Amino acid sequence: MVDINKMKVNSSVCLKQVLKVTTHDMHTGGEPLRIVTSGMPDILGSTILQKREYVKRHLDHYRKFLMNEPRGHKDMYGAILFQDKPLSNEFGVLFMHNEGYSSMCGHGVIALGRYVVDYELVVPKSPETPIIFNCPCGPVKTYVEYINNSSGPVHFESVPAFVYRLGAEVHVPTIGRLSVDIAFGGAFYVIISDRELSLDINSSPQSQMIDIGGKITEAAREQIPILHPESSELSFLYGTIITDGRDRFTDGPSTNICHIC
């Protein structure tokens, strides 16, 4: 539970208002998710994108005190759930982090799937409980294994992905000119292999890859216009994914590092 103390001053009268927000913390393979369980004011808007805009304009102080230190940290992620009908398997969700709001979060969806089953916000079904999370990017179909009255692994089908640009040129300070691909999978990302950067994703220092990923993202945002075909609110570059180059299904499992800034 998080307590927020606000001071209201009116002439010579000082009033102290205590707001209480409760949260539930989870993680997916170490990736954190802080779920708001109570204490948020009413969030206006008939669509999830309208609700996100309302939160950004009027309630952003909640994001800041939940995501930032001392209660959070630079890698904290958060989620605000909306459920119109009790025990319905359909939810709205807003994802937030230390810098703002995201349109989709894979590890967040996995954690939310387990959360809504384990805390009986849905009626579980065996062998899998189907759930729909309506994210800012669109509906994400989620499936939670449920066997012997216990939840298990989670998998999901995100919104349709598409290639936005192939071989786009971007000049990155201290690195030079790069040829990058840009694709959408709930958000827009630059995708580039480690070999193109003279790196080895399995052995290069993680701090070096994070630094380079951040520089690529910043340069691409400045030099490459991003336009989602259906929503201007999704028309932004979210981050950079550095891969091991094994990008085809026939290549087998691949490794990548995702930098968001």
Structure token digits, residue 256? 């990548």
Q: Is 258 a catalytic residue?
A: no
**Spatial contact of 157 and 126, defined as CB atoms under 8 Å apart:** no
Catalytic residue among 105, 135, 137, 258: 105
- Nearest Cα neighbor of 89 from 15, 42, 165, 146 is 146
Q: Is the peptide bond before 127 cis (omega within 30 degrees of 0)?
A: yes
Structure token digits, residue 108? 């967040």
Cα→Cα distances 151→68, 83, 125, Å: 31, 20, 10
- Nearest Cα neighbor of 94 from 122, 66, 120 is 66
| Cα 139 to Cα 116: distance, rounded to the nearest angstrom | 16
| Cα 113 to Cα 228: distance, rounded to the nearest angstrom | 27
Which residues carry out catalysis? 105
